Structure 1
Amino acid sequence: MNLPSSHAMDNKLFQKVDSKLSQAMEAATGPLQVIVTFKGDSAPTSEQLGLLDSLGITQGLTMQSLPIAGVLASTQQIESLAASDQVRSLYLNSKLEYFNADATEVTGVDKVRTDQDMTKTNGGMPVNGDGVGVLVNDSGIDGTHKDIEYGEHLVQNVLGTTNLNALEPTLLPVTYTENVPNTDSNSGHGTHVAGTVGGTGEMSGGKYEGVAPGADLIGYGSGGALLVLDSLGGFDYAITHQNEYNIRIITNSWGSSGDFDPNDPVNVASKIAHDRRITVLFAAGNEGPGENTHNPYAKAPWVISVAAGTIDGQLADFSSRGTKDVGGTFETDGETWTWKDSPTVTAPGVDIISTRVIAPVSSLAIDQDAEMIETAYLPYYTTMSGTSMATPHVAGIAALMLDADPTLSPDEIKQILQETATNMPGYEEWEAGAGYVNAYAAIDQILNGNEYGKTVNSFQDFNSNVETSAVRKDFKVDYNPVTLVSDNQHEFQVEDGTAGIVAKVNGKGLLEETGNPINLVLIAPDGTEYSSGISLLFTLYTDRTVTVNSPMAGTWKAEVRGLKGDEANPLAVALPEEVKGTISLVSTGGFTGLSDIAGHPAENAIKMSVKERLVDGNKNGEYKPDAYLTREELAQYLVMGAEIRQSLEKSPVFSDIKDSIRPYVEAVTAKGAAFRDKKQIQNGVMLAKEQGKFAPKDSVSRAELAYSLVQSLGLQDMASEHTGDVTVQYKDERIVIEDQDQIPANLKGYVQLALDLNILNAEFSVTQGTYDLEPTVHAIFNPQQKVKRGDYAVAASRFYNAFQ
């Protein structure tokens, strides 16, 4: 059967079918893989499943909690599905691409390499980390891989010999076995890390090139399980051979759990390295999303702690968080230091493609690799996720920074990374640090002297704030797997109005060294369970954390259980242990700086937007919800809460703005402003009024706001492809916007998407003539209507939901 053209196909039906599926239907000679999304908010109903059956669609799967089915369907069956009022959309099950190249695009590394002005300023050489020594303190490196070949890019590869059980009963200086081609004989973890730092991408034609391919890699590993002594050996080797290999960076994708102690031997080692002008980086940990899960070695104020983000600019669920408002001062070596329990910055850490161990061949993520990596490259690359992958990315950026200015100190590198970071909507500093790392802005600051940081949320004092407090209580459970369940529980009370619970225990195991595969479960008064769910394979991290938002009031139970075995550990059993923990009850005390919003229709949206740093009030303590939003306010709020990259020009672009708002205005008007514009080639998220003029005090129309919010989502191409009428969904039909002629032609696609994403709404009315059998529904958008500050808070809160 031939598929009708898009013009012949009923327009209403065609809107349900995505463009890729439509194209596939035109060329199809057999069934297609189709994702069917039904109306509803839970699993497909029996009626919806019956629809599939009635059409003869019998091959596929359905989701357990989502109204979605994946099926094999013919073009005729797809057309029939599109005609059903039960179906919301039909999409081709198309291939998704996850690349290391995406990571270097989104952080601006690729832009650094291709920027001719930066190359010229850097003495005519591209900024690629040339000659900077980076020690990878990990499981080892497979130097037989051409991307990180020993003797070329890998200038030294060391096998640590710190196994105390293998030593003679005498005290001897530590020794290292150098010049070992392959020291990664176990996990492949260190090889993957090394490729992210500075792999050349040779085995993929440059496709999976690392961040700093010009850097000199030094591998240090034990070749097997990593113990504290192994890690200390890496620091020791780096300091001993610092001058020989110009070691300026140590990257550590490992850690532990517990509190920060400046006297911990690892912290002592990292402090010594810091004092020798070696920049030390640590992974924040993979125990998120709970509070107080931060790797203690990453808390040292002289190191850089790296959280893991997604390629779309969000914080990965597994990325460890610090603790809100926790930190302090201490003295060491006669110097006073201040530490905060938070990561430094966030970097790509989800589905990262990098070098695979060649000898022996690693089978890491074998099924996932087959889907993500081209067949020709499978023997050489593999995918991994974790803060372990994010940390070497920032280590590579640090190498680029030292290439641009070898005199930088570790503290200066850390400060520049924080000052140039991109704000991440919905995350506070204790979760994501200063924000998503921006390599291009960091190098720009170093080479061109542009001063960044004035727009970073974590450096700001806001006029309006949400007040929260936490009451922490210690508890303990004498866990024994053979006793009654009640003996392994601790009861606690939750009062009405509590905003959240954060519960944490440590399963340290025998002599507090082995780790214990326990699980922490919080049980609500109605029996609902919330589990920490820590994998048995990662008992090195002994923390178990559970977070519950908006918990019901009543008697709760914290229960310690032994984790059940899985295919990898079918017989795993937790051991008896006195398990100690804390329970934090978080409450909201109110808001400040919002004295004039009580009873306003936008009150809740304003509060939510203030909490998530999408908006701010005025200095006089008011929000002024009915005042018109100005263009300079919109610029400020977009940079605060729409994940807009910082960008500055050597000379001011606009002549009508104050210096105080210049960083915001130049950021929103720069090419590639939106974080989700990964290649950084789209237009800014705000447009100039005229050449050299921004008009900061002018108001913002609804059409202009539609442009800014949709553009901030990186949807320029989709908006530009829009043709025809601007319509809005009304119950089961699309209504044409009657005042669409008032929408500027270049903004119609943006208004359409803003309506479709429910960021902005249309205004409906109904008319019915004397002899009309049915009423007529009308919809208008009011594109030229001025946006009030309360209106913006509503739109910003909806944008935030779309962004997430």
Structure 2
Amino acid sequence: MRDGKVATLLIFILITSLMGSIYSTSDNLDKKTQNFDLLIEDFEFLSQKDVTWLNPDPWWMTTSLDSDRNGIHDSIQNATGLVNIGISFSREITEEDKTKLMNMGFEIRLELKSVNALLLGPIESYQAIDLANFEDIVMVERYGSVIFYGDIQTPSVKASNSSIYPGAWDLGVTGKGVNIALTDTGVDNEHPGLIGKFVAGYDAVCYNPSDPNCILAGFGQRPTDGTFDPDDANQHGTACMGMASATGVEADGSISNFTGAAPDAKLIDVRIGTDVGAGPFENYLLEQEFYESAMNGIQWIIDHKDDAWQGAQEEDYGIDIISLSWGITSHENGGSDGTDMHSRILDEAMEAGISVSVAAGNDGPDNDGLSGMGSSSLSITVGATDDQNTIDRSDDTVASYSSRGQRKDNGNGNPIDELKPEISAPGSNIIQAEACVTSGGCNNFIGGDASQNTYTSRGSGTSYATPSVSGIIALLIEANEDLTPMQIKEVLKQTSERKGEPSAPDIDPYWNRDFGYGMVDAFAAVSLAIHLKETNQTMSMNPYIQNHLLSVNYENTSSCSDCVEIIGHTWGQMGDVEGIQYRVDDGPWTFFDPNQLENNDSSSEIGPLTPLIWNLPIYHSQLSGTYHEIEIRSTSGDEHSLPVLVNVYVSPNSIQNQPFSIINLLIVCLFVFVAGYSIISQKKNDTAFSISKKFHNGFFNPSRVDESQKLDSDNALDAQLIHD
């Protein structure tokens, strides 16, 4: 009977091992992963060519706006008469510099400390040469003109929920404690849907009592400490703030569906227009004044980003977001390359910790490049989609007016910062919060207010896509206050819904010139932001390490017959990827051998933006239970990419998810046959010896037996029979 018991035990062991993919324990996971673990010190990635743009030349040495490198924008050299001029220094500006310039007859209209620049107003074009020869002035450039780019939107971006999509609000975030600096025509915050939002404000034009527009309007200098509350002289600003943050409240107290993406976000009202008109549909008196006020407004925001506003709660201190639904025209063919001072000042805002959402522009598919502001290298540039007046995103198209990429090359060797826009959102036929201008039965010019106004009329433009993204950024900041502006930008990019074919696959396999990296998805973005916070990954996440999922295969895998195969690719934008880690269900991180990383270059050195394909098999025997989250990230030093999250369902009764191969079935049948034969022939010693020999030759490989595992005396006798 002994041999029969042994055979029965073998059948039990075999069947149990085959069912281990269904009923495994966490201990099995730790042991099984050792089959493809690879410590980082034991594995070396293919070497990557040096990233040349890590140590670029100064921007004035590479800009495309000064082709002859004489320190003067090319457009000025062909101009005659008066030209509005700004100058940039290679260093901080001193009082001595300003004194020398005034002694030369120049008026200093505004200093922009963030970009070491001065605005001088109108001068004769030939004087640009004198300025270019001034010590440490590295660029003389021309003012641009300020242009404003001007229900379904909020559920369509998945901020609020709908019958089709979940919403980010369901995750417990509404923008509370986040301040949006809407830099526009002013906001009528007494509108029912905007009541209680005003925290601070600034009039970026009438800060100067000698300004002729302010004189005509009957005002002198206005306070600069944030206590001034500008009204809307146009409608544009109120509409944009409504799309970012309206609560949907009507004058009678009822609640409508006309909500912004972040209904609890607050307002920093920075007006770049005046009471005598600053909008795109009005005849303003001195166009260049609005360029100066726009630049002044952004500088004021940077200077006051950490202020404790008078009368505000502590959670409402400071400035978190700049929302810009306008642009500045470029005088250069092909648009701006991001080196003009208005683009650079937005870069400074991003680096100062303020997230910048800016409109791409309304020049359509045949634009010759993006204008200033939208060309800022670091800002989040927003294109517009047409949602076809439905929440369903599957029918969304790029809006016909939305400006397309790429941006003009700034010559710094980095092709990534030319990939504009980064993101897109609905911008067509959007219902607007009504300002007190010429509609709603009131007018700010004669002492009215918007307290009885509603949401009416429709507007279109990248102007209206941008504040929706600003509101989504507010949701991200509330969800994870430790995210930096560049991390926020990367979260928005990686969680967006891809649209269109890649337009520059050699640079990035996901960017499209119409949609950017895709249509913004507030629910996915906020979910990822919360995950980063809850798993303590925020501080170590490097937005320049790229890691993306390609496929998840449950059958016909190249790695194994009893695993879930996860395939992705990774690359570095600012240096090498050094390793790849994974974990299961919040377990410990483990470096793994990505199954011989592949690329299309047979040489040992690859380009800095070349994706490397990784392959991660997760064996069914590693997974106890049915639902699991697999997390994969690329690493470089102590930093890592955003994680790829894969939810895996392993069903015990599913052939697809738990493959039981023909080979396994044959093995079971053979064991049953052998065991039966063993039981019938148990009295024949030579047969027992024969069976033992078959096990030895056919199924067990003695070379794989761990010598440290010693048998007891009874089993040792059987072992001698097997090896006889």
TM-score bucket of the superposed structures, by smaller chain: 0.3 to 0.5
Provide the TM-score with structure 2 as the length reference. 0.44
- Structure ranking higher on relative contact order (CA contacts 8 Å, 6+ apart): 2
Which structure has the greater CA radius of gyration? 2
